[in-house]
Chain A
Amino acid sequence: MTRKQRRLYFVLLGMLALGAATALVLTAINDTLVYFYSPTDIKAKHVGTDRRLRVGGLVEQGSVVKQGEIVRFVVTDLTTTLPVTFKGVLPDLFREGQGVVAEGKMDGAGTFQASEVLAKHDEKYMPKEVTEALKQSGRWQEEEGKK
């Protein structure tokens, strides 16, 4: 084998490794890597009470109940719902119908005890008047499903 051939061989080997690396990563992505779970995932997995995890979804319309410092609301992914309790100050962006990520644990009664609630805002930016005009003309579409 001449040096030129050997170099070509090395380059091909390197390309092969890179190709295989890409293939592996793509397979992994297809295996769905998720970080926070939807209420459906949680129902399906029967998560234990000792594990901290994150739940993401939308705050269900009309579900927010405030009792002093304690807030109760329901997170939905439009198929399954999960009741959440949280004690603390909510972010200003926390609204019904908006995306939310809660971190905490499940309790024995099937309620999610959040120790932290983060609002997830969408990529829409517009003045109030415009959204109202859109709503009146019926072209306004509420956020559907979770992000």
Chain B
Amino acid sequence: MTEGWPSSSFSADGLACVRGERVVFAQLDFQLASGEALLLLGPNGSGKSSLLRLLAGLLKPAAGRLSWNGAAVADDREVHAARIHYVGHHDAIKPVLTVLENLRFWARLHDPDSGDEAARMALERFGLWRLHEVPGKLLSAGQKRRLNLSRLLGAPAPVWLLDEPSVALDKASVKTLEAVIAEHRARGGMVILSTHADVDLPGAQALHLDRFAPAPAAAVEAWI
């Protein structure tokens, strides 16, 4: 954990996304190097969540390609999965498992060698250690979100894909998240984040997704 991530690059080239039968965005490019952050901006439905899911590998791009250090990500899904952490809208917390069990399961699934020490540190960082034996069903929305975010520290991964991580978080927790992200970047990690509320990402690139929306006619054209 203490040593940094090797210098790498994560880039998208001519990415297009079709949801349902609609082209959400097309010709989308970005390039991200170690330590950098990318902030996704745009109105509802502009495809921020879709882009994050696409970057995670949950969606397949309709066109274009994603590369890691120049090699196509699609070549090896498992290697790609090992280098990302994805935090989506759902918190993936089992109500009958305790806080620690919830976190440990995901940490060990991501990296079977991850120890209890990392889990304890992660929970302490997000202020959940005193609740570690409490079952998930008793947590508040904010606590659930913090537990979900603590996965980021439970097992290390260089790329963090965060879909509106500040939802349900109070001001203090947002500060914690900002600090955690800053440390991650300092170690050479990358962060791609979509947000409505203010999460302060100093020096982040901004990607306005509405600029990649196809012309209305083209959106239909794809199907005609």
Contact = CB atoms under 8 A, between A and B. Distances in A.
A3 B79 CA distance: 8
Interface string A1-19: 0010000000000000000
Contacts of A3: 76, 78-79
Interface in B76-94: 76, 78-79
A3 to B, nearest CB: 6
If over half of A's interface residues share one DSSP class (helix, strand or loop), that class is named, otherwise mixed; here it is: helix
Interface in A131-147: none
Contacts, number: 3
Interface in B56-80: 76, 78-79
A3 B78 CA distance: 8
A3 B83 CA distance: 14
Contacts of B78: 3
B73 to A, nearest CB: 14
Interface in A112-142: none
A126 to B, nearest CB: 54
Nearest to A3: B78
A83 B76 CA distance: 70
A65 B72 CA distance: 82
B72 to A, nearest CB: 15
A1 to B, nearest CB: 13
Interface in A8-54: none
A75 B156 CA distance: 78
B57 to A, nearest CB: 15
3 contacts: A3-B76, A3-B78, A3-B79
Interface of A: 3
What 3 A-B pairs have minimum CB-CB distances, sorted nearest first? A3-B78, A3-B79, A3-B76
